[in-house]
Chains A and B, each alone.
Chain A
Amino acid sequence: MLAMNYRGPRRVRVDHKPYPEILHPNDAIVRVTRSCICGSDLHLYHGMVPDTRVGTTFGHEFIGIVEETGPSVQRLKKGDHVIVPFNIACGTCAFCKQGLYGNCHESNPEATAVGGIFGYSHTAGGYDGGQAEYVRVPYADVGPTVIPPEMDPDDAVLLTDVVPTGYQAAEMAGIKTGDTVVIFGAGPIGIMAARCAWLFGAARVIVIDHVEYRLEFARHYGPCEAYNFRSLEDPVLFLKRETGWLGADVCIDAVGADAAGSALHTLTGKKLLLQAGSAIALHWAINSVKKGGIVSVVGVYGPTGNLVPIGNVVNKGITIRANQASVKRLLPRLIKHVQDGYINPKALITHRLPLEEVADAYHIFSSKLDNCIKTVLIPPSAKI
């Protein structure tokens, strides 16, 4: 089968790989029909995530058709078209039982701080991902959800990560009616968080980024205010002025380790890897939120440490909430939101490329070329 193959930082290609096997009684083999490149795939692509082995197939955002099931699988059958959550969850450990499906303890031997994630290095379990024709999907009775018949596959594939992560960013932010919400990052997650902030009753939504075409997209999609931090002398000062000098009620970091905006963070976090990526977006979030405010973090960082003003967190009495999205928990509600027309996921998709052009797709997305917001890869065996 064809699969994306990581060869080193900024080097990927498509190769023939062996068809995946059932390795556990509750496994399924899924034929991929759509697969996306996620902003967090870029952390892998840029070589920032430890234990990313050459030969890995990335891809944690995918949907597909069940081809084969293990002997204990009861909820899925051959031919089901399923949304596969990006996180692998057993459904029985203490954390899954509490709805923390993004923190499963039975899916990742290599690290305890993160659950298993498809195609996200050996630090996240060493699974091959969905940028391929076929994928092994563990715990098939737990995560995969059958796509409602009337749902567009392009909407469904964004329910694997982008929509739940954007939604959970707003949910964790504890937005109250009338709140001013500031979102750092106008990538797909930030744009989705802006959209979802309204669902929780925000009165004002502001997005900060430096990529002009993405800010323009956010203005229309949110809809929201959107500002380019390169045109602001100091984004924190700007936000203080904009919020009656107290700061925003809520700030969301939807950027993570690849943030631009600080030479110091770029050098120490992205070039020298002395910290777990650039944390300037989190820095700004902490300093822009009001006293007693909430900072919600869905941006992905590496596992070591980052330079952030933790003293200000204490002095301002800030609550920080963060997590990988609990996709399974959120899916029923988010499927309904899509069906009700509250969220239009597929509008984020700007590029559809065949899997065979995966190297170009990564380059376009990574370098933000051709006004790219979201790229979908379609394997030759997709047939829909």
Chain B
Amino acid sequence: MENNTSQNYAHIKGWGVDADPENEPTYPMKHYTGDDHRRLDWERPPQQPQHVEILHSNERPSVSAVFGTPLPPKGLSGAIRRVAYKYSESRFAHWIPLLVADRINVVEGVLDDIRRGHVPNLFVEQGGKAAWKHNRKTMVSRMLIGAVLAAGIVAALSLKRSRRSV
């Protein structure tokens, strides 16, 4: 059966080259060493100096030997993130506040841009040029739907005002 099978796929270059796990250097995935039974007992790499605030999971005793330093927590989103990291990764109380903080951070980002004299160009940032080139029909339909909705809201508001004034 195996020989027939290999003949059937002779046209596919490399077919079956890794079929024998015993001859396969990348198999199995985990090379058992028992090291994990020694828990946090390995010789740790040198510790990266910490000059900015790094939040760490409460499922580990301290920060890892290296970490990313851009964008330490700040502002309202940062305050929410600090609270979130008091809960374990097993809790929604960890993840939901982080998602909320992400959305607040978007508003903070816009305000930060404006404070620095930069008005975000939403058309460019959302890939409007590519949409215009490759997906014009959908783009135009969305713009029209948006315009109709906006016109409807404006009309409804002005009708409400005119009724009040009567």
Contacts and interface: CB of A to CB of B under 8 A. Distances in A.
Interface of A: 7-13, 23-27, 47, 50-57, 72, 88, 90, 92-95, 97-100, 105-113, 116, 122-123, 125-128, 138-139, 168, 171-172, 175-178, 198-201, 203, 223, 273, 302-304, 321, 323, 326, 329-330, 333, 337, 340-343, 357, 359-364, 366-367, 369-370
A107 B14 CA distance: 36
B19 to A, nearest CB: 4
Given A92-B42, A364-B127, A122 B55 contact: yes
B160 interface: no
A364 B33 CA distance: 45
Which DSSP category, helix, strand, loop or mixed, fits chain B's interface? loop
Interface string B54-81: 1111011011111111110000010001
Contacts of A125: 64, 67-68
Q: Which 3 A-B pairs have the closest CB atoms?
A: A363-B127, A342-B14, A126-B68
Given A199-B15, A330-B26, A108 B102 contact: no
A112 B66 contact: no
Contacts of B128: 363
Contacts of A175: 19
Contact of B31 (A88, A92, A99): A99
A43 to B, nearest CB: 13
Contact of B102 (A47, A111, A201, A359): A47
A113 B107 CA distance: 29
Contacts of A171: 18, 26-27, 29
A85 B116 CA distance: 36
16 contacts: A13-B124, A47-B102, A88-B66, A90-B65, A93-B42, A94-B42, A100-B29, A108-B64, A122-B71, A138-B48, A168-B29, A177-B16, A177-B19, A359-B126, A359-B127, A360-B130
Contact of A340 (B14, B59, B81, B125): B14
Given A55-B71, A94-B42, A110-B57, A304 B92 contact: yes
Which DSSP category, helix, strand, loop or mixed, fits chain A's interface? loop
Given A10-B126, A107-B64, A362-B127, A126 B9 contact: no
Contact of B95 (A24, A50, A92): A50
A333 B109 contact: no
Given A99-B29, A110-B56, A199-B16, A94 B45 contact: no
A26 B1 CA distance: 52
Contact of B134 (A10, A303, A343, A364): A364
Contacts of B117: none
B102 A53 contact: yes
A25 B81 CA distance: 29
B67 A50 contact: no
Interface in B83-104: 85, 89, 92, 95, 98-99, 101-103
A85 B1 CA distance: 39
A23 B49 contact: yes
Contacts of B46: 24-26, 72
A52 B102 contact: yes
B131 interface: yes
Contacts of B59: 112
Most chain A CB inside 10 Å of its own CB: which residue of B6, B33, B66, B128: B66
Contacts of B102: 47, 50-53
A201 B8 CA distance: 11
Nearest to B49: A23
A360 B95 contact: no
A340 B15 CA distance: 12
B5 interface: yes
Nearest to A51: B98
Given A11-B126, A341-B13, A53 B71 contact: yes
Contacts of A168: 29
A98 to B, nearest CB: 5
B106 A94 contact: no
Contact of A138 (B66, B98, B105): B66
B125 A111 contact: no
B66 A107 contact: yes
A25 B47 CA distance: 9
A23 B66 CA distance: 9
Given A23-B48, A178-B1, A333-B26, A109 B64 contact: yes
Nearest to B43: A92
B36 interface: yes
A347 B160 CA distance: 60
Given A92-B43, A109-B60, A11 B70 contact: no
A128 B42 CA distance: 27
Given A199-B14, A333-B26, A370-B134, A98 B5 contact: no
A364 B27 CA distance: 37
Contacts of B18: 171, 199-201
